[in-house]
Chain A
Amino acid sequence: MSGIDPMLPFDVALALALVALSWAVLAAADRFAMVVLFIVLGLMVALAWVRLGAPDVALAEAAIGAGVTGALLLATLRHLRGPEAAPAPGPVRWSVAALVAGVTVALGAVVVAVATAPRPEGLAGPVRDNLPASGVEHAVTAVLLNFRAHDTLMEVVVLLIAVIVVWAVDRGLAAAHDPAAGPEADGLGPVQAGYARLALPAAVVLGIYLLWAGAHAPGGAFQAGAVLSAVGIMAVLAGRWRPEAHHRAWARAVFGLGAAVFVLVALGVGLGPGVAYEYPPHLAKPLILAIEAAVTLSIAATLAALFFGREPAPVSRSRGRRP
């Protein structure tokens, strides 16, 4: 590829937007604005990844960077209402200035240099060559669950940590007030409730389909989990199901299920002649599907719990009680 990339203006704009957003995140006076900007920043970075030719990374980043951390930040934010933070002290302003200056220069240099340089083929070749041995037909799934399964396991772990943290936050503040716009509000009209009743089975089917399709077409555990989590969220919103304290043990088990199955499979195949994550060729497909199924369940439960935003605790008894 010679000459100037036609996408260069877009890349430069994207880079500048990233800088502006990072600055805005650090400088935002209002914490809520800060969080929203952060979510936007995460999406922009995901976009940058697409431009960089790595859609799989982009998906993971969109899920983790924007979704999870945004939810986490919002969950934290709920408890910071009240005394608004004092204006940023001097050192913070310096560091913001230093950061913005550094990042601007670096990004400018990188974008120009990378855009004018020849592009290497990347990993597409090796992925194509090894696809038959991976047990699945779709490249992204092969990368996520076989070639770079270690990364994916750790991304599942990130989600798990997120839900542990969100639960920990609420339990840490015995005096925390209820989620302001929380799902306990029974403000759903009959239309929404009816819609939920119709949509729930469809969403379940869609989620399972995405999971299956991940083996040979784009899709997979993260997307399927996201769709299935919508099921849980809608069920809660429609008042069809309400998280109770005695659900906690089950919930924890489901949160951990995906990572557990993943780890056990990874270690189990390592007990044989291979190393960890080295699936025997004839078992690769079923093992990957098993992992995906478990991970999908965990992701669905985790995202729904993140949306719900706090650990369900008995209403009548004091929330100060700890397990």
Chain B
Amino acid sequence: MTPAVMDGLMPHLIDWEVVAIMAPLLGALAGLVMPRAAAGIGIAAVGLTTLAVAALSWAVTTQGARMMALGGWGAPLGIDLRADGLAVMMLAMTAGVGLCISLSALAGQRARPAAGRPGVFWPLWLLLLAGLNGAYLSTDLFNLYVMLEVISLAAVGLTVMGGGAAALRAGFEYLMASMLGALLFLLAVGFVYLRFGRLDLMGLADLVTPGDPAMAGVLALMLVGLALKTALFPLHWWLPAAHASATAPASALLSALVVKVSLYIVLRVGQYLVPPTEGLVLLVGLAGGAAMIWGGIQALRAERLKLLVAWSTVAQIGLIFVAFARSGAAGTAESWKAAALLMLAHAVAKAAMFLAAGRIKDEVGHDEIARLDRSPVRPTLAQFTFALAAISLIGLPPSIGFAGKWLLMEGALAAGYWHWVALTFVGTLLSVAVFSRVMVPFLRFDRQRGPVGEHQGWALADAPPLVLALASFGLGLGAAQILTMLEVGEPFARATGAVLGGAP
């Protein structure tokens, strides 16, 4: 065991890590064999996974980070699973958001069994969940690659599941981008193996020396691969169509959860493999800033609600990268927390927003923004949810999106990087413009024929997105606790040490 691993291999009664990966996997297999019972099995599997993640989170927050060696071999021969604060936050985010999306999908499938396609949706989503959990717990580069494959393929399946040639075409583009990204990542992994002879992140962390030109190249390869998968500007072209043409629960899963895993791997790579350099951090931040602006402009031009929401994902991913870059290379030891908080914020709010947009589309019958105010049907609860989610995505207090933006700007100001603050404000103004385009017609009543009732279009399916939207505010008020939890296991202790010891 390397010295970097401070937490010991303690025996646990139940390995919740394994349950978190295997429960959805078994659920998917059961759902595959019994398509008629897929929904019930799916909810049960997601519920069990959520319980496992809750137990794991509890164990980690009370007893510290934990590690287990699959097969008892231990790195570098075998594969270790590690749960530290960052991993637990991502797992909890996935479980919580995933559970709400599952319930929403269930309600939607009850109402429209044909469109929901439970026999396809549940196995794919459960396999996706297994892949996500596996990636967050992984400490091994090749294992991360395999998880990425699982995730992207399942995500492509969820994209094309909506049916129609548009969804298929979008899925095709997505598949190309995703697979190419995976290949680039895999190549980088191969070079790491060739150079160091091992694939476990913690072992590699001890071998890598700052300023190694080979590692700079490897990092660039990985970053391009991951940027393709997470749709960082200018490699984002596939995202809007893919996220906009899927069914609402699938869009929510794709936008809220799937893009996060590549961001997470970027953080891990920055943590273990290569201490980021000033130039690279600047580049990443600039790409993020461009994404914010370009995504915002495109969202302003979008004619359909779901496309607008999808473009806002491009902008929000940019914001997360800006958060990572907010105070330069030396600041990444703290900046990653801002990025992590913004990931959480985006996951919760964007899931709520996509589900709400789906509900609006279901009730109104279309999602053309220009004609929304002509409808006499106003799904008020879904509209309210949309507005709450928008508040969090814009970053108004006291939402979790605000907490993330505050951290971003606080760090940037303290380090004297005023340009990131200015960029963030520009992005914020753009997102205000984007979302008010949608929300203003909610309150317009002089273009529809016939009276408008107050509580029309309320359904049980409105509850999960509303819960998510409200959670953005609960989490915002508890941001300090989340930040404390993130530090369990000192995810970035090494980065700090490297900066203090190495860089001039």
The interface of chain A, by Cβ under 8 A from chain B, is 18, 22, 25-26, 31, 34, 38, 41-42, 45, 48-49, 52-54, 57, 61, 64-65, 69, 72-73, 76-77, 79-80, 82, 85, 89, 91-92, 94-95, 98-99, 102-103, 105-110, 113-114, 117, 119-123, 126-127, 130, 146-151, 154-155, 157-158, 160-162, 164-165, 167-169, 171-174, 249, 252-253, 255-256, 259-260, 263, 266-267, 270, 274-279, 322-323
* Residue of B whose beta carbon sits closest to that of A22: B180
Q: B235 and A263: CB pair below 8 A?
A: no
The interface residues of chain A lying within 8 Å CB-to-CB of B76 are 123, 126
Which of B82-90, B126-134, B362-370, B430-438 is the contact stretch? B126-134
Q: A122 and B198: CB pair below 8 A?
A: yes
* Residue of A whose beta carbon sits closest to that of B130: A157
Partner of B172, one of A31, A148, A174: A31
21 contacting pairs across A/B (C-beta < 8 A) = A22-B183, A22-B184, A45-B186, A95-B234, A95-B236, A98-B234, A102-B220, A103-B224, A106-B220, A107-B217, A109-B217, A151-B143, A151-B146, A155-B149, A162-B153, A172-B117, A256-B29, A263-B25, A270-B15, A322-B117, A323-B36
- Known pairs A107-B217, A275-B71; A65 contacts B194 (CB<8 A): no
Name the distance in Å between B104's Cβ and chain A's nearest Cβ: 20
The interface residues of chain B lying within 8 Å CB-to-CB of A171 are 117, 120
Q: B190 and A48: CB pair below 8 A?
A: yes
Q: Give A49 to B194 CA distance when docked, in angstroms.
A: 10
Query: Does B26 count as interface, using CB distance less than 8 angstroms?
Result: yes
Within 8 A of A (CB), among B29-72: 29, 32-33, 35-36, 68-72
Q: A173 and B79: CB pair below 8 A?
A: no
Q: Give A150 to B184 CA distance when docked, in angstroms.
A: 22
Name the distance in Å between B81's Cβ and chain A's nearest Cβ: 9
Contact indicator per residue, chain B 160-204, by CB within 8 Å of chain A (1) or not (0): 111111011101100110011011101110110111111000000
A-B pairs, 9 with minimum CB distance? A113-B214, A120-B197, A109-B217, A172-B163, A110-B217, A106-B220, A277-B71, A122-B197, A165-B157
Q: B29 and A149: CB pair below 8 A?
A: no
Q: Give A8 to B488 CA distance when docked, in angstroms.
A: 45
Name the distance in Å between B442's Cβ and chain A's nearest Cβ: 31
Q: A275 and B18: CB pair below 8 A?
A: yes
Q: B164 and A173: CB pair below 8 A?
A: yes
Query: Does B114 count as interface, using CB distance less than 8 angstroms?
Result: yes
Q: Give A147 to B120 CA distance when docked, in angstroms.
A: 32
Query: Does B208 count as interface, using CB distance less than 8 angstroms?
Result: no
The interface residues of chain B lying within 8 Å CB-to-CB of A146 are 71, 73
| Majority-rule SS of B interface residues | helix
* Residue of B whose beta carbon sits closest to that of A95: B234
The interface residues of chain B lying within 8 Å CB-to-CB of A85 are 169
- Known pairs A54-B190, A76-B175, A173-B165; A266 contacts B22 (CB<8 A): yes
The interface residues of chain B lying within 8 Å CB-to-CB of A120 are 195-198
Q: B142 and A79: CB pair below 8 A?
A: no
Q: B186 and A148: CB pair below 8 A?
A: no
Name the distance in Å between B303's Cβ and chain A's nearest Cβ: 16
Q: A91 and B186: CB pair below 8 A?
A: no
Within 8 A of A (CB), among B270-284: none
Q: Give A121 to B124 CA distance when docked, in angstroms.
A: 39
Query: Does B483 count as interface, using CB distance less than 8 angstroms?
Result: no
Partner of B160, one of A109, A147, A157, A172: A172
Partner of B33, one of A126, A168, A253: A253
Name the distance in Å between B67's Cβ and chain A's nearest Cβ: 11
For the complex with contacts A113-B195, A123-B198, 20 further pairs of A-B residues with Cβ separation under 8 Å are A38-B179, A52-B190, A52-B194, A53-B193, A72-B156, A79-B168, A80-B172, A105-B217, A110-B188, A120-B198, A147-B78, A161-B157, A164-B120, A165-B124, A168-B160, A256-B29, A259-B25, A263-B29, A266-B22, A323-B36
Partner of A164, one of B146, B157, B169: B157
- Known pairs A61-B186, A120-B197; A99 contacts B228 (CB<8 A): yes
Q: A99 and B35: CB pair below 8 A?
A: no
The interface residues of chain A lying within 8 Å CB-to-CB of B29 are 256, 259-260, 263
Q: A150 and B127: CB pair below 8 A?
A: no
Q: Give A171 to B114 CA distance when docked, in angstroms.
A: 11
Within 8 A of A (CB), among B216-260: 216-218, 220-221, 224, 228, 234-237
The interface residues of chain A lying within 8 Å CB-to-CB of B32 are 160, 164, 252, 255-256
- Known pairs A161-B150, A172-B163; A25 contacts B70 (CB<8 A): no
Q: B35 and A323: CB pair below 8 A?
A: yes
Name the distance in Å between B153's Cβ and chain A's nearest Cβ: 4
The interface residues of chain A lying within 8 Å CB-to-CB of B464 are none
* Residue of B whose beta carbon sits closest to that of A254: B33
Query: Does B460 count as interface, using CB distance less than 8 angstroms?
Result: no
- Known pairs A109-B216, A161-B157; A34 contacts B176 (CB<8 A): yes
Q: Give A98 to B161 CA distance when docked, in angstroms.
A: 31
Q: Give A95 to B234 CA distance when docked, in angstroms.
A: 5
Query: Does B213 count as interface, using CB distance less than 8 angstroms?
Result: yes
B26, B134, B149 interface centre (most CB from chain A within 10 Å): B149
B22, B77, B218 interface centre (most CB from chain A within 10 Å): B77
Q: A65 and B183: CB pair below 8 A?
A: yes
Q: B237 and A322: CB pair below 8 A?
A: no
Q: A150 and B153: CB pair below 8 A?
A: no
Query: Does B331 count as interface, using CB distance less than 8 angstroms?
Result: no
Q: B195 and A117: CB pair below 8 A?
A: yes
Q: A147 and B77: CB pair below 8 A?
A: yes
- Known pairs A95-B235, A99-B224, A147-B77; A76 contacts B168 (CB<8 A): yes
The interface residues of chain A lying within 8 Å CB-to-CB of B319 are none
